[in-house]
Structure 1
Amino acid sequence: MTQQEPPEPHAQWTVRSTGADVAVFEYGRRDAETTVVLVHGYPDDHRMYEPLIAAIGDRARVVAYDTRGGGDTLLDTPDRTASYALERLAEDFWAVVDSIPDRDGPVHVFAHDWGSVQMWEPLRDSRARVDVASYTSVSGPSIDHLRAVSRRRGLRPWQWPSLIGQLGRSWYIWGFHVPVLGKYVPTAFVKAGPNDPAPAATPENMARGVELYRANIVRRMISGPEPRCEVPTTIVVPRRDRFLSPDLVEDVERWAPDLRIVRVDAKHWWPWTHPRDAAELLLGRA
């Protein structure tokens, strides 16, 4: 394989989850001691991780899947916003983990953007302590944590500038919820940062993935469970992320006690632009 050629999966399958057929792809060495599960964000699909998969090579067994709204995963009712709820996304993750052939031991999870946002949900499950060895989160905070942080900052006038700043960075989220503007926002989202290298986004992924925001942001910012994560966790904070404020990691250690925070001099799509760094960090944790 030349440097320009994307890695090819040596196996792929579809697993049935609640209301969805989830497309799963396997790379690397099946008999490796380490199994990694990659979870992509918006507006990507599993191919966003091709540079990282190539950087990992045969050092691990790598399983990637297309989350709801992206790639080859098919929903029974794709026009129903509730189909994209965090609860359904969590079920997809466990369905993928349970479908891995001859899996022996827990998996190491690496997630980016909405992949990371959704992963906080299954990590609340008690089985995560058994089936997930570590979690690496890049540019994808817990909505439940954001709810708690926003409420605290709203009561502290000296923190209002930080709150207002994050609201400004999140312009596209509120645009997704406006019916007239919603269809234009995905294109604006991709074009918002011409100097921010990112994987090519298909029109289908851009359009379908909007439902992730509509199904979860307002609902979980109003009410939801307390955040909880007892899995060893690394949060990667790109200092030049145009969508997320670096200080959103404030107080995460309250509910994720085994926590390491790594700040990198990069933009939002750090796993794609710096795949070797991402691979070393991930395998070092594993």
Structure 2
Amino acid sequence: MPEAFTLNRIALPTGVELDVATAGSPEHPPVLLLHGFPESHRTWRHVIPQLSQDHFVIAPDQRGFARSSKPAEISDYTPDKMVADLLALADHFGLTTFTLVGHDWGGAIAWMAALQNPSRITRLVIVNAPHPFVFQRTLFDDMAQREASQYITAFRNPGFETYIDSIGLSTFFDNSFARHTDFARIADEKPVYLDQWSQPGAMTAMLNWYRASPILVPAMDETPPRPAFLDGAFPPVTQPTLVVWGLGDFALLPSQLDGLETLVPDLTVVKVDAGHFVPWENPDAVVAAIKEWETP
């Protein structure tokens, strides 16, 4: 069955080339979709056909993923680099304003981009991705979330790629990815993931997103100094924002929604039946939530 989108290589002035899926008429309202770890534009494989009926949809393979460029340094993966890629991609398509949708790491980039660029990103959709302030706060104050996030410390270990090599990509898929979702729904995609992950430098590039992140993940027996910003004012997200949350997520716990309304004044939260990988497990619910939210 042919895909409902086209995939093209786009060179950006940020120094990277991205594979970018597009669908729908450029005359329709634009929406950019950002995937997370350890995925690609195919995160949105079942979302794109529905959204493209009345949107111009753009879904890149972000830097470091699949066959997009993989810069060599950890510093090439600080969040500001991905925000710059996003804005450059919007410029490439001549978009002055657009709706931004992000899942997982793509959602983390979307939060940051929306905070910094309210004149361009006019509407924001977050799918199981923590607000940066709430996430850092819960890593200090919610021991259950801290425990659930210890994998980040493992991913930051410089020897983690050696560990993956020792068990093989297929086992890594089964043990640290498939167990977070309904495997039956993604089993046919396993060869696609293994192909993407086996691209030269791909695993290191994907893990470098974690290594370059400023988020502090204390050990379970650690009491580190509390970041001062957690006890001060944090700038609000001013755009209308939809948060779609799969309640079966055991990597990002429901505490990620606590107090969110004070940080996002124009907030709509839709809770759905899914685990962490909501666009895979329940794409219809994601699309339905977006379309209902968009309707005046």
Scaled by the length of structure 2, the TM-score of the pair is 0.79
Higher mean displacement: 37-46 or 175-184? 175-184
State the secondary structure of the residue aligned to 2:20: strand
Aligned position for 1:82: 75
State the secondary structure of the residue aligned to 1:243: coil
2:26 maps to a residue whose letter is R
**1:164 equivalent in alignment to 2:125:** no
State the secondary structure of the residue aligned to 2:177: helix
Cα RMSD, aligned residues only: 2.6
Instruction: Give the 5 Å matches for 1:65-214.
Output: 65-75=60-70, 78-101=71-94, 103=95, 106-125=97-116, 127-128=117-118, 130-151=119-140, 153=141, 163-184=142-163, 187=172, 188-193=175-180, 195-196=182-183, 197-198=185-186, 199-200=189-190, 201=193, 202-204=196-198, 205-214=202-211
Aligned position for 1:157: none
* In 1: Cα distance, 2:65 partner to 2:133 partner: 24
Q: Evaluate the alpha carbon distance shift between residue 112 and residue 282 of structure 1 in structure 2; reply closer, same or farther with a 3 A threshold.
A: same
2:147 maps to a residue whose letter is G
Aligned position for 1:16: 12
Q: Evaluate the alpha carbon distance shift between residue 260 and residue 93 of structure 1 in structure 2; reply closer, same or farther with a 3 A threshold.
A: same
- Residue deviations 1:126-150, cap 9 Å, x none? x32x222211101111333322344
Q: Evaluate the alpha carbon distance shift between residue 88 and residue 220 of structure 1 in structure 2; reply closer, same or farther with a 3 A threshold.
A: farther
Instruction: Give the 5 Å matches for 1:187-266.
Output: 187=172, 188-193=175-180, 195-196=182-183, 197-198=185-186, 199-200=189-190, 201=193, 202-204=196-198, 205-218=202-215, 226=234, 228-266=236-274
* In 1: Cα distance, 2:217 partner to 2:72 partner: 20
Deviation at 1:98, TM superposition (A): 1.2
* In 1: Cα distance, 2:214 partner to 2:90 partner: 26
Deviation at 1:175, TM superposition (A): 0.7
* C-alpha contact (below 8 Å) 2:273/2:282 kept by paired residues: no
* In 2: Cα distance, 1:211 partner to 1:249 partner: 27
Instruction: Give the 5 Å matches for 1:32-71.
Output: 32=28, 34-71=29-66
Deviation at 1:58, TM superposition (A): 2.2
Q: Evaluate the alpha carbon distance shift between residue 15 and residue 283 of structure 1 in structure 2; reply closer, same or farther with a 3 A threshold.
A: farther
- List alignment gaps of at least 5 residues for structure 1: 154-162
Q: Evaluate the alpha carbon distance shift between residue 275 and residue 241 of structure 1 in structure 2; reply closer, same or farther with a 3 A threshold.
A: same
* In 2: Cα distance, 1:70 partner to 1:224 partner: 34
1:273 maps to a residue whose letter is E
* In 1: Cα distance, 2:69 partner to 2:150 partner: 29
Higher mean displacement: 34-43 or 130-139? 130-139
Q: Evaluate the alpha carbon distance shift between residue 218 and residue 58 of structure 1 in structure 2; reply closer, same or farther with a 3 A threshold.
A: closer
* In 2: Cα distance, 1:72 partner to 1:182 partner: 18
Deviation at 1:96, TM superposition (A): 1.1
Deviation at 1:171, TM superposition (A): 3.0
* In 2: Cα distance, 1:49 partner to 1:203 partner: 18
1:167 maps to a residue whose letter is R
* C-alpha contact (below 8 Å) 1:15/1:24 kept by paired residues: no
* C-alpha contact (below 8 Å) 1:120/1:142 kept by paired residues: yes
Q: Evaluate the alpha carbon distance shift between residue 220 and residue 93 of structure 1 in structure 2; reply closer, same or farther with a 3 A threshold.
A: farther
- Residue deviations 1:187-219, cap 9 Å, x none? 242244474544532324544211101100446
- List alignment gaps of at least 5 residues for structure 2: 219-225
